[in-house]
Structure 1
Amino acid sequence: MGVQGLTTFLDNHQKIYRDVQFGRSRLVIDGSNLYHRLYFESGLDQNHGGEYAAYESLIERFITALRTCEVDPYMVLDGGSDHTNKKLETVTKRAEQRIERAHRAAKDGGKEDIRPIMTKWVFRQTLTRLKVPVAQCFGEADREIAALADKWQCPVLSNDSDFYIFNLSAGLLPISYFQWQDVKGNGSKSYIPCKRYYTSSFCIYFEIQPQLLPTFAALAGNDYVKLPKFIWSRFAPDASRPQSRLEGLLCWMKDFEQPEDTLKAAVELMGGKSQNKEKMLQSLSVGMEEYKLPRSSLVEFFVRGVVPPFLDEVMILIQGKMSFIEARLPGDTLDVLLLHRLSLGTPVDHKDLPSANLTSRPLRQVMYGLLLGKETSYKQANFNVCHNVVSTLRPAVSWPQAQLSERLEVLLEALGVKEELLNELPPQLRLLVAVTCYWWNRARPRPDLKLLKSLLLGMNLKDTSRLSPAVPLVSSRGSSESACCHQKPDVGVAHSFSQWQVCMKDSMHLNQLLGLPLPEPDVARFYQGTLVHQLVHMRRTGSRLKRVLKPDQASVQQYRDMLSAIRRLRPRPRQGSEFSESEQAERRALNDHTNLRLFQLDYDEETEARSLARAQEDLRLDDRLLLRTRYKTKERRNRCNKVELSRKEEGRGMDLL
């Protein structure tokens, strides 16, 4: 939800907080808020596609700090979008703002808080490996987090302003003041210095009745309440101060005791027309209802593994509720099932370029077909410009009852690769290679060999300290950034690698939906943004990579195997132009607002027939191979003891890089 300006306002009123030494307790964590804050406040690069290994290390250190202080973390994540559409206008506006920020980041190289595409995957995978209890809610998680913390009598860790309104018995620990990188004490006496907030302190400090806090939030404006602009600062002692709007509202509310009286007086004060007053009161009442704590549905899940009830007939389609609530399926799944739309990610990208999301659209078509269980069409709509139909594509398989081999066939057909060729690789590399092959074939403009080799080399390098600058550890209230974080990325390179990451994300979604027919790769290991951008630059400027890189022979061999597999798996391009006339028209139509797409169900038989035919053509396997590998690795065991020859062999490997 979010109360506009409240967090900043309270930063200027430090007396409300209590300094505490936190340890030996349960802690309910707003996971969706945390994974944003950890990345944005760490100084990690935002403009080159993400620094996932460093981010993984940051998460590990965070969990280690909690466990050192005997804190038991329970992570709760947002799931699907609000199915009532009460927040659609707000979500739309924020998405448009992200597009503009992403464009500025690509154009100027500034820090615009655009979250790299795969951060949530790294967060989930790291928590799973560390055995941190995780629950993904069916919708927005705020109320479930508050209800669970209240039931367990433990605090919430979050920076979401809504938790300043919920009446939590053990209070709120704002992430901004949670000094987890500065653990004090030793052994059982270890603790994390932080500040704790209670609603009672707020009400005493500002002299308002506790029952009026939800009323204050609604009048201040949150994601559910849209009111005419009113100058509340006229009631503030000093109307010139930046936060005088909230201060003025609180001063005005001091004379009231009951929410109903306060709402009626506020509506009269705002001067709404008689026909609008009832709507305003209703909107305010709805906004206040969001702060009533429900009965916790997560206690039984965390304690006994009992999944909360939610639309059983829908959840059956995604292989049971457990996969979803354990965050082994993305929240997007519910958006497709319930809302028939999907809001796509916003990588750092120039807005005049075609959307990076176009490249992976056939993969999403398969996902839509699997979830909806029928062949239909989606209307792809920019929020303020054109509409384009996107068909679903239902594979010829009964899902989710299909055998593993059948589900694997669906995945590989969508990616356009043959299983027998992919099986030559180790299991952990198969999805990575299949997706990279898909990207190399479908991305526009077509990536050159330098981009492909830089991407693969970045996946296989172990010691990158001479290329990728280290990111210093920072305090939770500030950031210290490496010099590369504000460098302007090459627009074309960034666009191409954004296409690859989107393909990777959608392929992993599809793989999850199909019950993991291929092992899920370790996200934190396969892409380091500043590194691959530097490798591309070095290749283009003719730098000798072997002078600055010292990869081990096993990494070189794995790099060779992946490159060889991709070149053998890549199908022959279609004859004629790169795009059909319909594809060219579609891309021109999408050129104005390219980083955000909203998919809405819109059945039309004629359009569906054309779209399905094109999708089937796009996804058809081509048995002909583009080319054979030029280089074959030969083992010369009888020469291994000759140092000079070994060096030559290693040099030949680096020339291939």
Structure 2
Amino acid sequence: MGVQGLWSLLEGNSQIYTNIHFRDSKLVVDGSSLAHHIYNMANLDQNHGGEYLAFQVDVQAFFKNLADCGIKPYVLLDGGSGPSDIKLNRRIDLQRKRVKKIPDALKGGKIDFYALFTTTVFEETLNDMKVPLIRCFGQADGQLAALAREWCCPVLSTDTDFYIYDLPEGVLPLDHFQWDSVKASGARSYISCKRYTTSSFCSLFNIDHQLLPVFAALAGNDYVNLRDVKWASYVPAGNPTMKFRTASLVGLLSWLGARKDETTEDTLTAAMALIPNISQQARTEMRTEVQNAMLEYRLPSSSLRRFFSEGIVPPLPPEMSSRVPEWVPASLARGDLGANILDYDILVHRRKFLRIQVECSGLQSSNLTSRPIRQVMYGLLLGQREGEVEEWDRDGLELIGVKVQPLVQGAAQTLRLDSLPRVGLPTHSAG
């Protein structure tokens, strides 16, 4: 998701990047970004179920080329939304936009409908290739950035949220990572790419490092949006004409640059004072929302290094640990359990975003056919006493949330989540 408009701003200021020959290094990889990037770049079908064999071939080629260059990848995948639930409105908005695009997809348009099993095939291919992989318990961004900082290696991603974290080796944008044209220098191979660092960003726009989280929050990233503040009015005179979104970011950066000697709190107070036609209570609530968004960029201590070096599974978040038996964390972390089966959103938020498929929008959603199976799954995970699960799906071309009751009946009455690994397959008589 990231900071909206930041990618366009940086592409218009390409001097911010450093051209490098990347080789002989660890690399922390944003797995979700990479899977969808490879699928997109291969120009594979997105509207008729997916071209998984061709996708698998490209995934294998990607990691083989990394190995040829002495690059050791460590791949992290998201496992849900995380405890703050701060991205909920953004997720709903994105899902609603996908629903509206179904008619265009039916006509053959390429509109970023990722094939249903893209991530599953990606995960299984990496496990077959013995590429180090972990599915995080919740959102992966913070843990991914923390691991890159601890190992002093870059992050590979398309997510501009990583452009806000202060990482010593920066970010390698996937769009500039030329993995499919490995080159050689003598006996050594390398991948040509561009590197982004926060020091280059702060130098170009003349702002203090500590104000980067403030910039991301005020810019209206996944969490907040101060649309009523006319940041574009702070663009210095003489700047070339820009798109509105880019002009707003440039104006915000110019405003922050003029205040770089102030504390973060003073800067926030000044920003809140710019919001027109708002009550003091609403202003206070907006400040709290901005501060919560800033906390998302505070790096935790890494809990993943020992997983990759010693196989020690990171502890579950407290809000999950009381609900999940001992056998689950290791299987989930290794990717043996797909996030569609057991994820943070279901266990903690009682919510499930169902995949929007390319299908006749005049008919009912095909997800309805599998709802009874999901209800049994919810029953195994939650039991019947912990309330309903809200499923987000389409009704025609509208996105709706529907409350679904977990089911514990029939054979499921004799099963518990902690006993599933010991349950044998059913036997059938010859007759």
Give TM-score scaled by structure 1 length: 0.60
Identify the residue that residue 309 of structure 2 maps to in structure 1. 303
Query: Higher helix proportion, which one?
Result: 1
Q: Secondary structure at the match of 1:315?
A: coil
1:96-495 paired onto structure 2 within 5 Å: 96-106=96-106, 108-185=107-184, 189-237=188-236, 238=239, 240-242=241-243, 243-257=246-260, 258-271=263-276, 272-310=278-316, 311=318, 312-316=321-325, 319-332=327-340, 333-334=342-343, 335-374=345-384, 378=389, 380=391, 385=400, 387=402, 389-394=404-409, 395-400=412-417, 402=419, 406-409=423-426, 419=428
Unaligned segments of structure 1, at least 5 residues: 410-417, 422-622, 624-657
Contact 1:235-1:248 at 8 Å conserved across structures: yes
**CA distance in structure 1 between the aligned counterparts of 2:328 and 2:400, rounded to whole angstroms:** 37
* Aligned mates of 2:211, 2:221 — CA distance in 1: 15
1:178 and 1:378, CA in 2 relative to 1: closer, same or farther beyond 3 A? closer
Q: Distance in 1 between matches of 2:4 and 2:420?
A: 50
Change in Cα spacing, 1:18 to 1:358, as seen in structure 2 (3 Å) is: same
CA apart distance, 1:403: 7.5
Equivalent-residue separation in structure 1 for 2:407 and 2:184 (angstroms): 58
Query: Deviations 1:171-217 (Å, cap 9, x if unpaired)?
Result: 11000100000100068510000001110000111111111111111
Q: Could you tell me which residue of structure 2 aligns to residue 584 of structure 1?
A: none
* Deviation (angstroms), 1:398: 3.2
Find the structure with the greater CA-based Rg: 1
Measure, in 2, the Cα distance between the counterparts of 1:136 and 1:79. Answer: 6
In the alignment, the residues of structure 1 paired with residue 211 and residue 403 of structure 2 have an alpha-carbon distance, to the nearest angstrom, of 47
Q: Is the CA contact 1:26–1:71 (under 8 Å) kept in the aligned structure 2?
A: yes
Q: Which amino acid aligns with 2:157?
A: S
On the 8 A contact 2:384/2:405 being kept in 1, the answer is no
1:28 partner SS: strand
Kept after mapping to 2: 8 A contact 1:20/1:196:
yes
Quote the Cα distance in structure 2 between the aligned partners of 1:236 and 1:130: 50
Of 375-384 and 275-284, more deviation after overlay is shown by 375-384
Counterparts of 2:152 and 2:264, CA distance in 1:
27
One-letter identity of the residue aligned with 1:196: R
Amino acid at match of 1:249: L
Question: Structure 2: how far apart are the matches of 1:407 and 1:199?
Answer: 54
CA deviations over 1:372-391 (Å, ceiling 9, x no partner): 23477545565865746444
Q: Which has the higher strand share?
A: 2
- Percentage of matched positions with identical amino acids: 42
SS at match of 1:342: strand
Contact 1:378-1:392 within 8 A present in 2 as well: no
What SS does the aligned partner of 2:112 have? coil
Q: 1:384 to 1:20 in 2, by over 3 A?
A: closer
User: For the Cα contact (< 8 Å) 2:80–2:138, is it kept in 1?
Assistant: yes
Q: Is the 8 A contact 2:96 2:399 kept in 1?
A: no
Q: Secondary structure at the match of 2:184?
A: coil
**Counterparts of 1:377 and 1:209 in 2: how far apart (Å)?**
47
Could you tell me which amino acid in structure 1 is paired with residue 301 of structure 2? R
Question: Residue by residue, what CA displacement relative to the aligned partner does 1:459-509 show, whole Å, maximum 9, x if unpaired?
Answer: xxxxxxxxxxxxxxxxxxxxxxxxxxxxxxxxxxxxxxxxxxxxxxxxxxx
What is the deviation of 1:309? Answer: 1.4
1:289 and 1:353 map into 2 onto residues whose CA distance is 43
Cα distance in 2 between the residues matched to 1:386 and 1:169: 42
Distance, in Å, in 2 between the alignment partners of 1:167 and 1:250 is 17
Deviation at 1:328, TM superposition (A): 1.6
Matches within 5 A, 1:592-603: none
1:243-277 deviation line (CA, Å, top 9, x unaligned): 21111111111111232222111111123432222
Partner of 1:69: 69
Paired with 1:56 and 1:121, the residues of 2 have a C-alpha distance of 11
Would you say how many aligned residue pairs link Structure 1 and Structure 2? 412
Instruction: Indicate how the Cα distance of structure 1 residues 350 and 231 shifts in structure 2: closer, same or farther if over 3 A, else same.
Output: farther
**1:86 offset after TM fit, Å?**
1.8
User: Runs of 5+ in structure 2 lacking a partner?
Assistant: none
Question: Is 1:70–1:188's contact at 8 Å kept on the other side of the alignment?
Answer: no
Is residue 47–residue 105 contact of structure 1 (8 Å, CA) maintained in 2? Answer: yes
CA contact (8 A) 1:233 1:245 kept: yes
Question: How far has the Cα of 1:137 moved from its partner?
Answer: 0.9
Residue 613 of structure 1 corresponds to which residue in structure 2?
none
Secondary structure of the residue aligned to 1:314 is: coil
**Alpha-carbon spacing, 1:301–1:404, altered in 2? closer, same or farther (3 Å):** closer
1:37-61 deviations in Å (ceiling 9; x for gaps):
1111221111111000000001000
Does the alignment pair 1:94 with 2:94? Answer: yes
Contact residue 95 and residue 399 of structure 2 kept, 8 A: no
Matches within 5 A, 1:580-599: none
Please state whether the residue corresponding to 1:173 is helix, strand or coil. Answer: strand
| Partners of 1:380 and 1:390 within 8 A in 2 | no
CA distance in 2, matches of 1:404, 1:194: 45
> 2:41 aligned with 1:5, yes or no?
no
Partner amino acid for 1:46?
Q
CA–CA distance in 2 between the matches of 1:155 and 1:259? 27
Distance 1:84 1:404 in 2: 31
State the Cα distance separating 1:104 from its structure 2 match.
2.0
Distance 2:420 2:148 in 1: 41
Structure 1, 273-282 or 299-308: larger mean CA deviation? 273-282
What's the offset of the Cα at 1:371? Answer: 1.2
